Chains A and B, each alone.
Chain A
Amino acid sequence: MRTTGRFSWFYFSSPQSFYPLAGALQPWFAGLAAILCAVGLYISFLVAPTDAQQGEAYRIIFIHVPAAWMSMFLYLVMGFWSGVGLVLNTRLSSMVATALAPTGALFTFIALWTGALWGKPTWGTWWVWDARLTSELILLFLYIGFMALQAAIDDQRRSDKAGAVLALVGVINIPIIYFSVKWWSTLHQGASVSMTGAPTMAKTMLLGMLIMALGFWMYSIAATLARVRCVILERERQTDWVAAEIGRQS
């Protein structure tokens, strides 16, 4: 796979060479995720000051907001790898997209669930039909649709490509989610973190949230790497190297 003298970027696009790399990287990302989440939770629950208006209940946003970020970001990543798989016809890209979907759906669900838990004491209701809540729910449906479509098609190549087309169609939905806050003005408060304006949050709150987001990010990578290893073994089970790998492990 190596071109003469130069390192080839496509070396790791083969499932066989990516499998050990993923195995080597996965514990590092898992460890980073554990450390970052521990530090983030320490800051958010013990260091960050109590919010003047919302009391202690606001602390759930340290999990809610990073989960919502990751849920949207992971769909974009999934769409990206689906597009790469569709254009370059690389099997590994499609496997990564398949492996990303459950983690994305998990974060979408966490965002919805924690949002409901936060809404009850703050707004006095579990659920409002607000634009962002609704589009987050639609995002969950999109993840479920992606996984259902891939599960329903037995032919591996077709399932990869059909899922890829669906993911790319769904990516159009992401901007609608993000800008829906501006389109419909409803109960939901505007974005709490703004890059341009002066920060309206206390520094420690922002720090806690960013560390939690990084921790979730690392967790996503670790979980995806672990899952993609399983997918590789499952799909390449007829090859010699997988037989050798399983023989070595057992």
Chain B
Amino acid sequence: MIRALGWVLRRDLLLAFRRRGDVVNALVFFVIVVSLFPLGVGPEASQLRNMAPGVLWVAALLACMLSLARLFAPDHQDGTLEQMLLAGEPLVVLVLGKVISHWLMSGLPLVLMAPLLGLQFDLPADSLAVLCVSLLIGTPVLSLIGSVGAALTLGVRGSGVLVSLLVLPLYVPVLIFGAGSVVATANGTGAEAHLLLLGGFLALSLVLAPWATAAALRIAME
């Protein structure tokens, strides 16, 4: 099982490395969306500081969601997914490998990029640290929940819009506590409670989401 997980990880990372443009595009999308907000609401530092956590988190949500289309669709088109379903290894493990590689390609770059964008919004150092930690815990949840939506809409017409309709409402708790942790740091109340709840979401979705995704994939490939 571990070998199967490693195989999927290596394969997906290699494929992503061969097509670096996709990863870069999602990251550039994140940067552009975040940079648009000061242009829209004005450059006052105090206002930007207040809205930075929400803006960064919403942009991360959207960037993560956009990259969901790449999670299963290419494998579905070239038939790899069918072979994975037929393989002797449990589908849940293969799904988990794909989700982890998706997070490494879409979530992790956002975590690394976020402090830089936070500086643009004049966030203090402790808020920046909490922002990074919250994104580090929160973005895997986004990939896990998103994989269910991506599997359900596999090969469906208009799947791009549909997946956002399905997945964004489920992202709401992550958004609330992710952005809330940064706000709580700025208020001086401490971010532990929010981060612990995010960790709880991660544990819950890590247990449940791969099974739901595997079930959805089987339904899609029937």
Q: Which size class do A's interface residues fall under?
A: 20 to 34
Say yes or no for B222: interface residue by CB 8 A criterion.
Answer: yes
Min CB–CB distance A140 → chain B (angstroms): 9
A26-34, A50-58, A141-149: which lies at the interface: A141-149
CB neighbours (8 Å) of B162 from chain A are: 148-149, 152
Q: Are B165's CB and A145's CB within 8 A?
A: yes
CB neighbours (8 Å) of B153 from chain A are: 149, 152
Mask of B9-47 contacts with A, CB within 8 angstroms, 1/0 = 000000000000000000000000000000000000000
State in angstroms the CA–CA spacing of A121 and B102 once bound together.
49
B60-68, B91-99, B118-126, B169-177: which lies at the interface: B169-177
Q: Are B172's CB and A138's CB within 8 A?
A: yes
Say yes or no for A153: interface residue by CB 8 A criterion.
Answer: yes
Q: Are A152's CB and B158's CB within 8 A?
A: yes
Closest to A141 in B: B169
Which residues of chain B in 154-170 are interfacial with respect to chain A, using CB atoms and an 8 Å cutoff? 156-159, 162, 165-166, 168-170
State in angstroms the CA–CA spacing of A49 and B21 once bound together.
67
Contact of A149 with B212 at beta-carbon distance under 8 Å, contacts A161-B219, A165-B219 already known: no
State in angstroms the CA–CA spacing of A173 and B47 once bound together.
32
Given B152, B169, B173, which contacts A165 in the complex, CB threshold below 8 Å? B152
- The number of A-B residue pairs with CB atoms under 8 Å apart is 55
Closest to B148 in A: A169
Q: Which size class do B's interface residues fall under?
A: 20 to 34
Q: Are B219's CB and A173's CB within 8 A?
A: no
Which residues of chain A in 140-180 are interfacial with respect to chain B, using CB atoms and an 8 Å cutoff? 141-142, 144-145, 148-149, 152-153, 157-158, 161-162, 165-166, 168-170, 172-173, 176
Contact of A144 with B222 at beta-carbon distance under 8 Å, contacts A138-B172, A152-B157, A162-B216 already known: no
Contact of A153 with B156 at beta-carbon distance under 8 Å, contacts A158-B220, A162-B220 already known: yes
Min CB–CB distance B58 → chain A (angstroms): 14
CB neighbours (8 Å) of B216 from chain A are: 162, 165
CB neighbours (8 Å) of B169 from chain A are: 138, 141-142, 145, 173
Given A149-B153, A149-B156, 7 further pairs, Cβ under 8 A: A142-B169, A145-B165, A161-B219, A162-B220, A169-B170, A169-B212, A172-B208
